[in-house]
């Protein structure tokens, strides 16, 4: 006897839907249970096996809970705004609203065919005004508390498409769509001030019932580090370069200073000099590199150039050259670092550009010559050629040296974090409109809560979606 499983599936799925057996009740005395899975992106017209694995597991759990007498709330939704949906719409040459709605309907049919026991009466999609109204409400509340603000930040700009590109839309420095050279431009954008909660986020990791390796990843993402900002005066100038470091024990080995190419002070140093042209050329090359390429510790090619000026090492008065380098980032510390032979990237950069190097740490405290070394010295040991700190273990000397440098007015103690404020501007069409009015007389004015939602206009055509200047969440 052959069993027609498709016929049986459809029969019972129709009965489930007509009887609304998975609809959650807000009343009753049963213990409540809530299950929420990650929403799929409607950037394709159907599910893939990764989706099936995820949703089948969730469905098994809630069916088990129902059998044990729990009142289960099991909704479904669609993460329908943003880059994936917009890219898919562009690729298929259709308005993103039409593409997204068609994709949602198709994915929903797949989910129903799988027999997933969702309460479809509670389905949401993030592109519906009744949903993104609350995005806008949250924004206004953050604005009231000083947790939403505008500042200038670099963006990827395609001059041919007339649009901002996400990092993943830049391929080898070119636009993924038209292959034009991508430019880096400054643009005022909206941010959420999540750094206001850095210590709270870090301290409360211990309260989470998570695997330890995930906790470590979270700690590294927040990246709290205590150190000092050492002040390097630019020779023959009033400029001062504050360089953040957690390793001031190597200060006597510093032989050059590195500045992030995006740093305004780098441009100021080379302005109207013979080094300006080379700086602009190198800056353009570096701008095409991803942050991952730039932050790879070693092995990747180090790129930079001399800026034609020297800084003064405050602890010994030595004049040391100032460079820009691709592995120095504007968004960590001050965007300026002191460089020496006890760091792998610094060492490789110095070898490439023939910058003198010297060591101040060895296992036994006996002087060793960095110029003859084949690699950086990164091990702890005994200090030498470090003034009154010579002969001390470098890690024991570190806090004492920090106090000494600060007491002499050459630095200040500070705490840095890798975590950055969350950039929420999108500069693309398919997203939540930020509820702000830009008035010639009054400036930036928040929309009244009573007027929410501010709806996304739908009468746009083709690539003009990308060119809208309204900032989108």
As a whole number of angstroms, the distance between CA 443 and CA 437 comes to 8
DSSP line for 273-316: STTHHHHHHHHHHHHTS-HHHHH--SSSPP-EEEEEEEEE-TTT
pLDDT of residue 232 exceeding 60: yes
pLDDT band at 315 (very low <50, low <70, confident <90, very high): very high
Q: 277 or 166: which carries more pLDDT confidence?
A: 277
pLDDT of residue 472 exceeding 60: no
List, in sequence order, every residue forming a beta bridge with 341; answer none if it has no partner: none
| Mean pLDDT in residue range 177-192 | 85
pLDDT band at 297 (very low <50, low <70, confident <90, very high): low
Instruction: Give per-residue pLDDT as tens, 2-42.
Output: 888 888 988 988 898 888 989 998 887 899 999 999 999 88
Which residue in this structure is represented by tokens 């943003």?
82
DSSP line for 400-425: HHHHHHHHTTSEEEEEE-S---EE--
241, 411 contact by CB (below 8 A): no
> What is the pLDDT, as a whole number, of residue 186?
80
pLDDT band at 468 (very low <50, low <70, confident <90, very high): very low
As a whole number of angstroms, the distance between CA 436 and CA 440 comes to 13
Q: 314 or 183: which carries more pLDDT confidence?
A: 314
> What is the pLDDT, as a whole number, of residue 473?
47
> What is the pLDDT, as a whole number, of residue 464?
47
Instruction: Give per-residue pLDDT as tens, 145-162.
Output: 999 999 988 788 888 877
pLDDT of residue 58 exceeding 90: yes
> What is the pLDDT, as a whole number, of residue 217?
95
Instruction: Give per-residue pLDDT as tens, 407-463.
Output: 999 999 999 998 989 888 876 788 999 999 998 888 889 999 999 999 998 887 654
> Nearest 5°: phi and psi at 218?
-65, -40
Calculate the average pLDDT of the chain: 90
Structural domains in the chain plus CATH codes: 5-127 (3.40.50.620), 133-193+422-467 (no CATH), 197-223 (no CATH), 225-416 (3.90.740.10)
Q: Give the HSE-up count for residue 149: Cα atoms under 13 Å, Cβ half-sphere.
A: 11
Which residue in this structure is represented by tokens 């505008």?
150
65, 26 contact by CB (below 8 A): no
> What is the pLDDT, as a whole number, of residue 467?
41
As a whole number of angstroms, the distance between CA 78 and CA 56 comes to 17
310, 352 contact by CB (below 8 A): no
> What is the pLDDT, as a whole number, of residue 299?
52
Instruction: Give per-residue pLDDT as tens, 330-377.
Output: 878 899 999 999 999 999 999 999 999 999 999 999 999 998 899 999
> What is the pLDDT, as a whole number, of residue 466?
43
How many Cβ atoms sit within 10 Å of the Cβ of residue 134?
12
> What is the pLDDT, as a whole number, of residue 348?
93
């Amino acid at each position: 006897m052959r069993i027609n499983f498709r016929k049986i599936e459809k029969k019972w799925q129709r009965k489930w839907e007509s009887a609304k057996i998975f609809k959650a009740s807000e009343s009753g005395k049963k213990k409540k249970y809530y299950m929420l899975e990650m929403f799929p992106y409607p950037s394709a017209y159907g599910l893939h096996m990764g989706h099936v694995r995820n949703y089948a597991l969730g469905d098994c759990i809630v069916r088990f809970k129902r059998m044990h007498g729990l009142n289960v709330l099991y909704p479904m939704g669609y993460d329908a705004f943003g880059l994936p949906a917009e890219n898919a719409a562009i690729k298929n040459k259709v308005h993103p609203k039409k593409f997204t709605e068609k994709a949602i309907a198709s994915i929903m049919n797949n989910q129903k065919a799988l027999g997933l026991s969702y309460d479809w009466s509670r389905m949401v999609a993030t592109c519906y005004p009744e949903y993104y109204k609350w995005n806008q409400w949250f924004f206004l509340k953050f604005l009231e508390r000083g947790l939403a603000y505008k500042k200038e930040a670099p963006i990827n700009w395609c001059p041919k498409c007339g649009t901002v590109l996400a990092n993943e839309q830049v391929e080898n420095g070119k636009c993924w769509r038209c292959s034009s050279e991508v430019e880096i431009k400054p643009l005022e954008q909206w941010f959420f001030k999540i750094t206001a909660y850095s210590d709270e986020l870090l301290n409360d990791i211990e309260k989470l019932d998570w695997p330890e390796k995930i906790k470590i990843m979270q700690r590294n993402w927040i990246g709290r580090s205590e150190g000092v900002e050492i002040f390097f005066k630019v020779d023959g100038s009033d400029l001062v370069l504050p360089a953040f470091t957690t390793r001031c024990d190597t200060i006597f080995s510093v032989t050059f200073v590195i500045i992030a190419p995006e740093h305004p002070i780098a441009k100021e140093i080379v302005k109207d000099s013979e080094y300006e042209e080379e700086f602009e050329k190198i800056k353009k090359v570096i701008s095409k590199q991803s942050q991952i390429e730039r932050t790879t510790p070693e092995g990747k090619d180090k790129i930079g150039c001399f800026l034609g000026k020297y800084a003064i090492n405050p602890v010994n008065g030595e004049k040391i050259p100032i460079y820009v380098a691709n592995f120095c980032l504007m968004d960590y510390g001050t965007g300026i670092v002191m460089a020496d032979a006890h760091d792998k990237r610094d060492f490789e950069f110095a070898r490439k550009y023939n910058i003198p190097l010297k060591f101040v740490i060895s296992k036994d405290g006996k002087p060793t010559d960095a110029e003859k070394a084949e690699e950086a010295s990164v091990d702890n040991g005994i200090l030498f050629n470090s003034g009154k700190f010579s002969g001390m273990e470098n890690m024991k000397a570190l806090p004492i040296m920090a106090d000494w440098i600060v007491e002499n007015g050459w630095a200040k103690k500070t705490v840095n974090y890798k975590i950055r404020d969350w950039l929420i501007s999108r500069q693309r069409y398919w997203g939540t409109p930020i509820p702000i009015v830009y008035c010639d007389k009054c400036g930036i004015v928040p929309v009244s809560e009573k007027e929410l939602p501010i709806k996304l206009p739908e009468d746009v055509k083709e690539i003009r979606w990308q060119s809208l200047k309204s900032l989108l969440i």
